[in-house]
Structure 1
Amino acid sequence: MKTVNSISAATLEIKKSKFHSFLVPFSLFEEKLEELKKVHPKANHHVTAFRYLNEYNQIVEGSSDDGEPRGSSGRPTLKVLQGNDLINVGIITVRYFGGILLGVGGLVKAYSDVANLAVKNANLLEYKDIFEYSFSVDYEKTREIEYILKQNGIFVENREFGIEGIEYTIRDDIEKINLIKGVL
């Protein structure tokens, strides 16, 4: 599976209709949708599709046609996510109607094409399960731990300073967590 950690975008114009598609990390999906609705208030449709893993490691997915004919936009966009084996992502496509009806087949093609372009423009990353790990370090070993954390780009969720040392909470993939465990 693949995922993204930044937003990518693509635009298509088909028979005077403009389609602006945004591939976003799922953690930013709702926020980006609200932002796009404010930035594009005159857009006719804000079509969405998403896929993410829930706390039981099950894939949850969904889509919305947002007023387009049923099955003509959200579902084809979701199929792009499925076909590219993407997880923990969402796509939002903003459409401005150009005055020419595209028909259901034309809409399916347009939404699929612009979603595929957004995926093509993205920096796709290999998906890895993220775990949380907490540990304590004496102050004399702090410099070494901080160096390892920085060199390996390990995400530090929290640092709590105590009398005898620092309590760390990190979130990262299992290889990086095992790297820290090996040093402790």
Structure 2
Amino acid sequence: MQTIEQIYTAEVEEKKSTFLAYLCPMNAFESLHVKLKNDHPKAAHIVWAKRFYNEFRQVVENNSDDGEPKGTSGPPVLNVMRGVELIEAGLLIVRYFGGIKLGTGGLVRAYGSSAKEVIAHAKLIPFLFKEILTCKTDYPLVPRFEHYTTTQNITVVKREFESDGVVWEIEVSEEEKEQFLLFAHTFERDGFKRL
């Protein structure tokens, strides 16, 4: 499986219709969809597809033809995403009608090629399951933990400063979790604890 970390765009023209494709991480999908509706009020359609994991680590897929003939736009976009095993991502395509009808086969090709074009410009990275790990350190240990998270590229989701120490929420893969717990284990007597 592969994913992305930022938004990518591409433009395709087919028989005077313009297709603006946007590929985004799943956490940006809803806000980007709203923004595109506001930025392109004269667009004929905003077609989309998305693939993500639910809390049970099952792949969830959804798509919308947004008024195009059923099955001619959303499913082809979703199929392109499946083909490159793209997950935790959404793909939206804004269409400006150019006056020439494309027909069902033409729509399938145009939306599919728009999806392929934006994915070709994207930097795809391997997808890793991550989880949030919560722990607490006494204040003397804070510099060591800051150094570790910085040098190991561990994402600190949240830090809360309390009277007796700092509560950390970090996002880690399975491998990062094992390494972090090995590192942190040596500080248990000095004021480290998992929450």
Mapping of residues 5-154 of structure 1, within 5 Å: 5-154=5-154
Q: The residue matched to 1:123 in structure 2 has which SS?
A: coil
RMSD of aligned C-alpha atoms? 1.1
**Following TM superposition, by how much is the alpha carbon of 1:128 offset from its aligned partner in structure 2, in angstroms?**
0.4
Structure 2: which amino acid aligns with 1:180? Answer: F
TM-score, length-normalised on structure 1? 0.96
CA distance in 1, matches of 2:17, 2:158: 47
**Following TM superposition, by how much is the alpha carbon of 1:173 offset from its aligned partner in structure 2, in angstroms?**
1.3
Once structures 1 and 2 are overlaid, which stretch shifts more, 132-141 or 24-33?
132-141
TM-score, length-normalised on structure 2? 0.91
* Structure 2 runs not aligned, ≥5 long: 185-195
For 1:156-181, what per-residue CA distance to the aligned partner results, in whole angstroms no more than 9, with x for missing partners? 12222233322211112122222221
CA distance in 2, matches of 1:64, 1:89: 15
Q: The residue matched to 1:6 in structure 2 has which SS?
A: coil
CA distance in 2, matches of 1:86, 1:99: 33
Q: The residue matched to 1:170 in structure 2 has which SS?
A: strand
* Structure 1 runs not aligned, ≥5 long: none
**Following TM superposition, by how much is the alpha carbon of 1:79 offset from its aligned partner in structure 2, in angstroms?**
0.2
Q: The residue matched to 2:123 in structure 1 has which SS?
A: coil
CA distance in 1, matches of 2:105, 2:164: 67
For 1:64-115, what per-residue CA distance to the aligned partner results, in whole angstroms no more than 9, with x for missing partners? 1111111110000000111110111111000000001111111101100010
**Following TM superposition, by how much is the alpha carbon of 1:5 offset from its aligned partner in structure 2, in angstroms?**
1.2
Q: The residue matched to 1:51 in structure 2 has which SS?
A: strand
CA distance in 2, matches of 1:87, 1:109: 22
Q: The residue matched to 1:87 in structure 2 has which SS?
A: coil
CA distance in 2, matches of 1:146, 1:180: 12
4+ residue runs of structure 1 moved beyond 6 angstroms?
A: none
Aligned residue pair count: 184
**Following TM superposition, by how much is the alpha carbon of 1:36 offset from its aligned partner in structure 2, in angstroms?**
0.3
Structure 2: which amino acid aligns with 1:37? Answer: K
Structure 2: which amino acid aligns with 1:62? Answer: N
Identity of aligned residues (%): 40
**Following TM superposition, by how much is the alpha carbon of 1:42 offset from its aligned partner in structure 2, in angstroms?**
0.2
Structure 2: which amino acid aligns with 1:91? Answer: L
**Following TM superposition, by how much is the alpha carbon of 1:56 offset from its aligned partner in structure 2, in angstroms?**
0.8
Structure 1: which amino acid aligns with 2:143? Answer: R
